[in-house]
Structures are given as structure tokens and as C-alpha cells.
Amino acid sequence: MSAVAQKAVSKFLEFIDADIAAYAESCVHCGECAEACHFYLATKDPKYTPTYKLFPLVKAYKRHKAPLSGLKKMLGLVPAEVTEDELREWEPLVYDACTMCGRCTLVCPMGIDIAGTIRKMREGFVAAGIVPEGLSVAAANAERTGSPMGVTLKALSAQIVRQEKETGIKIEIDKKGADYMAILSSMEIMGYPEIIGAYAKLFKQAGVSWTISSEAFEATNVGVQIGDGKMAKMLVQRIVDAAEKLKVKHVISPECGHAYGALRWAGPNMVGKEFSFKVVHIIELLDQLRREGRIPAGEKDGRRMTLHDPCQLIRRGGLLQEPRTLLDDSCSDFIEMEGAGIANLCCGGGGGVSANERARELQMAAFAQKLKQINDLGDIDAVVVPCANCRTVFEDGLDEFEVDLEVVGLGELVAETLASK
């Protein structure tokens, strides 16, 4: 076995816990997962069958780690070693053709978490140095600046100043002892800075004391997307340090899918200790403030809207009801698409796919599936997308297919439809 393959296999084996072992043992190769995967639906190419993407990892498990594999090895009944060629063949399947959206788990009769296993599998590919170029660039940026797009503090400050002017509300940076510390995704800072103004407006009305750290303002965790545990930990640590330094009680995860899972669910496990603060998602927080009557709803938006469910927030994050309650208050003509909620289709650009230039064609094909799902609703004025990454994927895709459809963030919509004091 080549040194490269060896590195990958060792990482695979390191990450195979009882969960993944049970998954590898239980898959009966029924192929139903293909019917849940937007990449398969878009191309009808069998190689995009989700369980097929796991084959190298399963091979390594069956050869080295499965119970009774020793006995089977003696009889020559274990699969061959994973080769470097195989890893190179599988690399596009693991990086370009999986957004780790987890829809396949829903259809799987064995309930196998393929998305979570792909995430662990990518660790092996990173260890072997077999990763797509686009993602390496994002990773290098993140290493340097903490942000995949290379967003600097200077850029953020400029956006904050602009939002302060627009809203007339002062936004305090590095305020010690604030209750909440907000972090943002690069996409929001560069593309949708209005969200900063929306935060200011909402929190002012609710009387929430909040701040943004100058040392850790980036929420996107490229480490998690690419499957680089070391970097993922470094990026989480940065947030933990800043939150501890400012002694905040909560960190607000922004409208960004992977960022939430990375910090809320994987974060404490990565840094190896429980956080001294709570992680709340902005949607969770807004829902709570609404229920407490601190941000009462005003006049509703009359446009016909639907909601895109970002996979990492809804299917894999559990925030199923909150965005819907908020939307019911903010929008008078809100309709759901087929499979809305837990079984909604992914936008096609999550899990680092949108940062991966090579995957563009495939990503667009997957987005076409999403678009079809929306078109099936008939006339829609706007789609609410509470994830900055999904949002850029939507805007890019709508542009590509020349579709006239407005894409709005949930936070902004809630801020816009706030009852005036």
C-alpha cells in the first residue's frame, strides 16, 4: 500500500466508531439512497448513489476493523487494500458530489448517516492530501485570516460603519460583559451586510446587549467542510477564546448551515471541553424573543413566499419549527414546497461544494432540481433562505438559469416586519 493510501486508511480507521461500524455492517445495498440524492436525481448516474461514495472507507473497515475480520482474512474473505488510485477516483464523489445534506438518511431503511460518515471520510482524504483545488484555496485563506474568503477586520469595520449610518444605531465592537456575541459568515459580511443592521435594529428593540468580536467574527468553518480536523478545531478555538475573553453568556450562530453544526454540535467535541457559554442560532433567538414579546410582529409582507430549508439547520440541526413560526408572523402569503421541512432538497452547494470550482456543472444540475421544486409551486415572488451559503448558491443559480426570483434572509425579513415602537 502506498504511503498516501496508508495515511488515508489510518485516518479512516481512527474515525470509525461504533456508529460508522454499524452503518458499514448494515448497508444491504438496496440503492434507495440514490432516490434521495439531488446529484443522482439530476444526472441519473449510478456512481452518485450515496452509499457508493463510502466504499473505500467501508473496504478499509471490513479489512482492518470489523469484528471477525481476522478470521475472514485467514480465509481470504476480506476486501483488498484501498489503493491511491481508488482514492483519487473517489475524491470527486466525496467532495464534488456530496453536500453532506443527509437527505439519504431519511430514505435509508437502516437509517445510515451517510452525510456524517462522508464528513469523517474527508479527514482521510485531507490526511492523504487528495482534495480539490478550490477547497485548498479556501482552506489557505482560512488559515491566514480565519475566513475562507479572506475577509479582514478592516472590511468588516467598513461594513459596520455603513450599517450604523443606515440604521442610526451604534454597534459596539469588543464590548466586555455583553450577553451575546454575534459571529457572521463571510458571505454575509461581503454580500449581505444588511443583516448586521437587522441585528442592530432587532436587538435594540428587544433590549439585548450584544457585541461583535474583532478577533473572532467569522463563523464559516472551512475545516469542517473540507474535513480537516486540525483546522476545524483551530477555527472553533478562536471563537471560544474570544467569547471567554469578552465573558459573553451566548454566542449567536448566524444564518449559515455548516457554521451552526460546527460550533453547536461538533465544537465542544473538537476543543475537548464543554463551552462556558451557550451557542444559540439566530433563528432560535429570534423565535425566543418573539415568544417573549420583545420583538412584536408588525405589518406582514404581502409577497408570495416559500421557505428553503438549509440542511444543516433543519434536517441536521433540528430547527424545524422556529423559522416557520417566524415566517407566519412576517409573511401573509407563505406556502410550503413539496417535502418541506425535514425532507427538503438541498440547494446543491453545501459542504464546500459551492467553493469548489470543479464541481460547478454538477452543482448547477443539482440546483435545477431545487428550482423545479420551487417552480412546482407556481408563481412565487420570493424565497426565504436562512443560510448565507445557500443564498449565494441560489443567487448564482437563478442567474445561471435566468429566473427572476427574489432571495431574502430570514433575519432581515423579521427586522423589516417588526412592529414600530
SS (H, E, C) the chain: CCHHHHHHHHHHHHHCCHHHHHHHHHCCCCCHHHHHCHHHHHHCCHHHCHHHHCHHHHHHHHHHHCCCHHHHHHCCCCCCCCCHHHHHHHHHHHHCCCCCCCHHHHHCCCCCCHHHHHHHHHHHHHHCCCCCHHHHHHHHHHHHHCCCCCCCHHHHHHHHHHHHHHHCCCCCECCCCCCEEECECHHHHHHCCHHHHHHHHHHHHHCCCEEECCCCCECCCHHHHHCCHHHHHHHHHHHHHHHHHHCCCEEEECCCHHHHHHHHHHHHHHHCCCCCCEEEEHHHHHHHHHHCCCCCECCCEEEEEEECCCCCCCCCCCCCCHHHHHHHHHEEEECCCCCCHHHCCCCCCCCCCCCCHHHHHHHHHHHHHHHHHHHCCCCCCEEECCCHHHHHHHHHHHHHCCCCCEEECHHHHHHHCECCC
In the complex, the smallest distance separating the C-beta of residue 42 from another protein, rounded to whole angstroms, is 14
Residues 220-279 that bind another protein (CB under 8 A): 264-269, 272-274, 278
d(CA 283, CA 155): 25
For the CB of residue 388, give the shortest distance to another protein in the complex, in Å: 21
Instruction: Collect all residues with Cβ–Cβ distance below 8 Å to 217 and sequence separation of at least 6.
Output: 153, 156, 183, 184, 189
111 binds another protein (CB under 8 A): yes
Query: Closer to another protein at the Cβ: 197 or 317?
Result: 317
Which of 107, 297, 382, 405 touches another protein by CB under 8 A? 107
Residue among 8, 9, 39, 52 that touches another protein (CB under 8 A): 52
34 near another protein (CB under 8 A): yes
Nearer to another protein, 107 or 153 (CB): 107
**Does the footprint of another protein cover residue 27 (CB under 8 A)?**
yes
Q: Is 18 in the site for another protein (CB under 8 A)?
A: yes
Interacting positions 313-332 with another protein (CB under 8 A):
315-318, 320
Q: With respect to another protein, which residue has the nearer C-beta, 273 or 421? A: 273
Does residue 153 belong to the site contacting another protein (CB under 8 A)? no
* Cβ neighbours around 30 below 10 Å, total: 12
Of residues 112 through 151, those in contact with another protein by CB under 8 A are 112-113, 116
Shortest spacing between CB 35 and another protein, in angstroms: 4
Which amino acid, one-letter code, is at 134?
G
Name the residue nearer to another protein (CB basis): 46 or 298. Answer: 46
Contact 38, 369 (CB under 8 A): yes
The least CB distance from residue 229 to another protein, in Å, is 12
377 interacts with another protein by CB under 8 A: no
Asked if 72 is part of the footprint of another protein (rule: CB under 8 A), the reply reads yes
Kindly indicate which of the ranges 105-113, 123-131, 138-146, 155-163 contains the residues binding another protein, using the contact rule CB under 8 A.
105-113
Binding to another protein by residue 49, rule CB under 8 A? yes
Counting contacts by CB under 8 A, is residue 335 touching another protein? no
Taking CB under 8 A as the criterion, the residue among 73, 85, 106, 168 binding another protein is 106
Pick the piece of the chain touching another protein (CB under 8 A) from 32-40, 87-95, 154-162, 167-175. 32-40
Instruction: Candidates 64-72, 144-152, 224-232, 361-369: pick the segment binding another protein (CB under 8 A).
Output: 64-72
Residue from 92, 150, 296, 339 in contact with another protein (CB under 8 A): 339
Q: Which chain residues interact with another protein by CB under 8 A? A: 16-19, 21-23, 25-32, 34-36, 40, 46-47, 49, 51-52, 65-68, 71-72, 77, 105-113, 116, 264-269, 272-274, 278, 315-318, 320, 338-339, 342-343
